[in-house]
Amino acid sequence: MTVKQLGLEELVAACAELEVPGVGLWREPVQTYGVEAAAKLVREAGLAVTTLCRGGFLTAIDPHARGQALDDNRAAVDEAAALGTDTLVLVSGGLPEGSKDLHGARERIADALAELGPYAAERGVRLAIEPLHPMYASDRCVVSTLAQALDLAERFPAEQVGVCVDTYHIWWDDRAPAQIARAGAGGRLHAFQLADWTTPLPEGVLNGRGQIGDGAIDMRAWRGLVEDAGYAGPIEVELFNDGLWARDGREVLAETADRFVRHAG
Amino acid sequence: MTVKQLGLEELVAACAELEVPGVGLWREPVQTYGVEAAAKLVREAGLAVTTLCRGGFLTAIDPHARGQALDDNRAAVDEAAALGTDTLVLVSGGLPEGSKDLHGARERIADALAELGPYAAERGVRLAIEPLHPMYASDRCVVSTLAQALDLAERFPAEQVGVCVDTYHIWWDDRAPAQIARAGAGGRLHAFQLADWTTPLPEGVLNGRGQIGDGAIDMRAWRGLVEDAGYAGPIEVELFNDGLWARDGREVLAETADRFVRHAG
């Protein structure tokens, strides 16, 4: 997503050239290219698919919408398995139209995980609940902290449900270091993503994630916390940024790799 | 601030007409009008000044900037006392330019409170730390949760330092109900403010606070929690909203009073 201006073939070639060993993929470009064809493309390039983004949106009350969401998440699990990644990242979903009940929405996510967790584990895929910054609580993700994500995940076996830690969403939270340790101790640190916090935020607050090193987040400190908790998996850089998307994708990828080494390496 | 388009005399007249018994004032219009004149105006109208907003911005590292901030906060305490309110709301301040150290910034707030708390108490004024939504953590307020605010406040006597609970900033936080109880038990619930959460957020995320009833927050539930914790003080409605500011101020005040009764009464 950091360089969504690149097509899948361009992306794979650019990663190979920069010796980036793995890539997190999003479902839409993979579906457009064809899941099997995408799997073959990355496999033959020797590139690991670190995670698939994203499942989730599991807060609907309406039974029909709820059934559709579960079907869509099973499809996402199948796609993850086909791509050879063991991790599907979940963005939980916001409040249904007109609802003010955060607690109820969080409980519906748990109900959905009870169905999806075993389905995923049978296919070698772990679900990773990603807490999103509290500014998304109403319209995107009612799971706002790592503690909440773990409260949900721990109702299920760790090989079914864990968490995705993204610095952009948790950097402000003084409880997050202890929650990272909790996640690591439980074998639930399933993914780790970097993005920096820059202001002013753009309208809609979706596409203002900062390039690594441009903002307020101490990347090396968070990497240290995650690794101290036992995480040895890939580290993804996931930037939603209109400015970066407007530039040449290969140049942005090279810049990102350089920033990673300088600020998080 | 909800109707900042009204001058102080218009505001006082409109409150009297609507039988609004109290008003939270901001420093700038009070200073422009003259502190003593403003105090006389509200006193003679029989209107209570519920809080003065705001002191704070206590995170500077530079000794000169730090001394200026302390001076300015002492002046704010003096103004609160002159206006006859017992509560000065504090917005703590963000990260200094180039800093990534949230913990250090929070400790500098504690250092400042050690100086300001006794000064305020001697003048009959309580300081109320207002946790601001985590989306303001870098540039406005490094105190992002009620738990953090109480961790700071509890280092000092309750008659010196407490907290200000604003629904807009804490509504997403599943720990907030327990923290409201903690604040109440310690006698530290010094102010209670309402604003609703609406999306999409505007650029800069400052002036998009929703009119009561327009958004995702269950106002009556939060009022219940605060009152269950022993709060019997005034309830303020504090909306920063470009749309409301563009309308006739008396009409907005009447609408706000109506919304308060319908959604929080």
Predicted ipTM of the assembly: 0.96
Closest CA to A85 of A98, A74, A76, A94: A76
* Residue whose entry in the numeric block shows the structure tokens 């999409």: B200
pLDDT given for residue B207 in this prediction: 96
pLDDT given for residue B100 in this prediction: 98
Mean pLDDT calculated for residue range B226-241: 98
Taking residue B111's Cβ as centre, other Cβ atoms within 10 Å add up to: 12
Identify the band that residue B41 occupies on the pLDDT scale cut at 50, 70 and 90: very high
- How far is B102 from chain A, CA to nearest CA, in Å? 8
Instruction: Give SS3 for A90.
Output: strand
Task: Give residue A79's identity as a one-letter amino acid code.
Answer: E
Domain topology for A8-257: TIM Barrel (3.20.20)
By percentage, how much of chain B surpasses pLDDT 70?
A: 100
Instruction: Point out the residue among B144, B175, B216 whose CB comes nearest to the CB of A172.
Output: B144
Domain B8-264, CATH: 3.20.20.150
Contacts of B146 in chain A (CB under 8 A): none
pLDDT digits (tens, 9 = 90+) for A191-231: 999 999 999 999 999 999 999 999 999 999 999 999 999 99
pLDDT digits (tens, 9 = 90+) for B99-158: 999 999 999 999 999 999 999 999 999 999 999 999 999 999 999 999 999 999 999 999
pLDDT given for residue A185 in this prediction: 98
CA B160 to each of CA A251, B29, B104, B231: distance values in angstroms, whole numbers, following the listed order: 55, 26, 22, 17
Q: What is the spatial distance between Cα A139 and Cα B251, in angstroms, rounded to a whole number?
A: 30
pLDDT given for residue B134 in this prediction: 98
Instruction: Point out the residue among A144, A175, A205 whose CB comes nearest to the CB of B172.
Output: A144
* Domain locations in chain B as residue ranges: 8-264
Element (H, E) at B67: helix B63-83
Contacts of A203 in chain B (CB under 8 A): 200-203
Instruction: Point out the residue among A103, A203, A218 whose CB comes nearest to the CB of B100.
Output: A218
By percentage, how much of chain A surpasses pLDDT 70?
A: 100
Identify the band that residue B94 occupies on the pLDDT scale cut at 50, 70 and 90: very high
pLDDT given for residue B93 in this prediction: 98
| Interface contacts (A, B; CB < 8 Å) | 91
pLDDT given for residue A33 in this prediction: 98
- How far is B144 from chain A, CA to nearest CA, in Å? 7
Identify the band that residue A115 occupies on the pLDDT scale cut at 50, 70 and 90: very high
> What backbone torsions phi and psi does residue B7 show, to the nearest 5 degrees?
-70, 165
Q: Do B205 and A204 touch (CB under 8 A)?
A: no
For A62, half-sphere exposure in the C-beta direction (CA atoms, 13 angstrom radius) is: 10
Q: Do B135 and A137 touch (CB under 8 A)?
A: no
Q: Do B138 and A199 touch (CB under 8 A)?
A: yes
Contacts of A148 in chain B (CB under 8 A): 174
pLDDT given for residue A181 in this prediction: 98
Q: What is the mean pLDDT of chain B?
A: 97
Mean pLDDT calculated for residue range B186-205: 98
Measured between CA atoms, the residue of chain A closest to residue B139 is A199
**Per-residue DSSP letter, A205:** S
Taking residue B21's Cβ as centre, other Cβ atoms within 10 Å add up to: 12
pLDDT digits (tens, 9 = 90+) for A126-184: 999 999 999 999 999 999 999 999 999 999 999 999 999 999 999 999 999 999 999 99
